[in-house]
Structures are given as C-alpha cells and as structure tokens.
Amino acid sequence: MLYFLQVSIDALALGSLYALVALAIGLVFGVMRLINFAQADYITIGAYSLVAPSTAAVPALMFGALHWVPMVAAVLLAVTVLALLTERLAFRPLRNTDTTTLLISSFAVSYFLQSLVLMLHGGRPKTVSIGEGLTSAVELFGLRIPGIQLLTMVVAMALLVVLVVFLKKTSLGVQLRAASENFEMARLLGVPANLVISIAFGISGILGGTISILFVVQTGSLDVRMGLMPAVYAFFATVIGGIGSLPGAVLGGYIVGILSVLLQAYLPVEVRPFRDAVVFAIVIIILLVRPQGLFVTGGAKERV
C-alpha cells in the first residue's frame, strides 16, 4: 500500500511534467497548426545554459553558478528568447503553409539546434551538480519522498494552475484560447495574430526552461538528447488527447506520465527495459479505439 502511494506520487509528478510539455505543444499547435519538434531542444538548451560551452565532462558553470533565483530567471529568459527567435526566424515565414511543411520545418529547426549544442558542447554526456539539498528525502505522512520529486510535483502543478487561470481569466488568455479554437475568426474579431503566436511560443519557452532545470536537478547530468523523450511523450499526449484540444493535451500528458510510472513500477523486471515500447504500443492501441483522440476538435480535420 505504501509502495503504491509512493508510486502514485511519482506518477502524479511525471504526469504533471508531461502535461506541461503537452500543453506547450498544444498551445503552439492551436495557434499555428505546427507540431513543434524544437520543444525538445528548448529543454536541452535550457539545461545546457547552466554550464559554459566546452567539451569537458565536468564543465564550468555558467548560469548554474548563480544564486538560485537569478539562475532560474536567467535560464527561463534564455529559453524564452530562443523560442521567440525560432518563431521569428523559422516559423513566421512559413505561417500560412500546410501542416506537413510546418512539421518538417520544425524537424529541421530541432536538428539545427541539436547540432548547435553538439558543436558548442561536444557530444559526450556531462555531469552538473546543482540543488544538491533537494535530493534528500522528506518525511510526509509516513511516506519518504525525495525532495526533488516533491519540488517537481509542486512546481508542475503550480504552473499548470497558473496557466489555466491565465487562459481562463485574463484577456490575453481568452484571446489565446479563441485563436487556438479558430485562428481566422479570432483575427477577424480583433485578436492580434503576432501577439498570440508570440505568447504561445513564450509560454512554451518558459515551460521548456522550467522542465530543463527540474531535469538537471533530478538527474545531475546533461545530454544532447535529454529533451527528446519528454517532447516525444508530449507529442503522443497531444495526439491521444485530440490534437488541438488544450484540456485534451493536459489529460493526455497525465495519461502517458502515469502509464509510464505505473509500468516502470509493476512490469516484471525482465520486461522493464521495454517500458517505453509498451507505453507507445498502448498509445497506438488508444488511437486504434479513438482515432480522433479523446477530445475531438475542429483542428483535427480541415473544414470544407
């Protein structure tokens, strides 16, 4: 029972994390019909911005050397600027093309950023230690929870709440949701296109930066591919949830996050290395039952 409780806390933490990434991807998809592969690299680059560019295995710290408040601020700022830059330079010229072209272009942007990291930092994984105090366990109602797990959960849930409030209650948030429901109609009603798209990318930058810090604290290592798995999980989350639906993205994020933790905990030991394959197979089975996703939206299919 205790084990189950601990597992479900893990599941909730990871689920919230994936829900965040999925929400970022869902927001950008909503306003641009773009599935942003580069989201993976926002996370990677956020993590790498903690250290100075070098090929050393234990590199000198850059933003990581700061006190934690300016450190978080600097990373978030860097990733947000990066996200806005990719939008301005790569995606804006392509704004009115078909979804396939956009998908390929984001694949290209992602590959470009990944090679940039490779070029500056070298391909070997690195170790960084920040926030060591957080790895010690916290006793809570008889459960021993690693501090970082608690932090992840609190941060992810807080961000989710803030985002939902922002989307539901503020004028900008409502405009963003309107644009993501029907971009053309929203524009006709006076929603500025550039602004909402920039905000969507800004949010995905902030979320990417946050997740990168949480990851580094958790694993203590840097890898060129570190953003890949969360982003890929989030893609599947958005597809399961119904592509273009924001509540769907969040729900999908929780589904894949919880699934992967539960499988990790309860699969027989010899099957455990294949966990990702099992999760993706389940994703495909879900899609087999509901090809349009759990929430069907106008975004899934073009209207005639």
Partner 1 sequence: MKLLKSSFPGLSLILLLIAGFAIIELLGSASTMRVATEALIRLVFAVGLYVFSGNSGIVSFGHMSFVAIAAYATTWQTCCAMLKPITMPGLPPFLKDETYPLLNSALTSVALAGAVAFVSGLVLMRLASLSASIATLALLFIVNTVYSNWTSVTMGNSTIVGLPVYVNLQVALVAAIAAIVVAYLFQISAWGLKLRATREDEVAAQASGISLYWPRVIAFTISGVIAGFAGILFAHSTGTVSINSFFLSHTFLIVAMIVVGGMRSLAGTVVGVTLLSVVIEIFRRAEAGISLGSIELAIPPGSQEMILALSMLLILIFRKDGIMAGREITLPKWCRKHRATSERRADTAIQ
267 binds partner 1 (CB under 8 A): no
- Nearest-angstrom CA–CA distance, 44 and 225: 7
Contact characters 131-150, partner 1, x per CB under 8 A: --------------------
From the list 69-77, 105-113, 149-157, 160-168, the region that binds partner 1 by CB under 8 A is: 105-113
User: Would you state the structure tokens that stand for residue 150, as one six-digit string?
Assistant: 């608690």
Residue 291 interacts with partner 1 (CB under 8 A)? yes
Cα–Cα distance for residue pair 40/231, rounded to 1 Å: 5
The yes or no reply on residue 273 touching partner 1 (CB under 8 A) is yes
SS3 138: strand
CB of 229 to partner 1, least distance (A): 9
The nearer residue to partner 1, 146 or 235, going by C-beta atoms, is: 235
Closest approach, Cβ 293 to partner 1, in A, equals 7
56, containing H or E segment: none
Q: Which of 58, 137, 281, 298 binds partner 1 (CB under 8 A)?
A: 281
CA distances to 22, 23, 129, 252 from 134, rounded to whole Å, are: 26, 26, 11, 29
Task: Report whether 9 contacts 153 (CB < 8 A).
Answer: yes
Q: Burial code of 228-262, b = ≥16 C-beta within 10 A, e = fewer?
A: bebbbbbbbbbbbbbbbbbebbbbbbbbbbbbbbb
* Site for partner 1, residues 210 to 229, rule: CB under 8 A: 228
Q: Which is nearer to partner 1, 112 or 266 (CB)?
A: 112
Going by DSSP bridges, is the β-strand pair 126-127/143-146 parallel, antiparallel, or unpaired?
unpaired
Q: Which parts of this chain interact with partner 1 (CB under 8 A)?
A: 35, 90, 93-94, 97, 99-101, 103-105, 107-109, 111-112, 114-116, 118-119, 228, 232, 235-236, 239, 243, 273-277, 280-281, 283-284, 287-288, 291-293, 300-302, 304
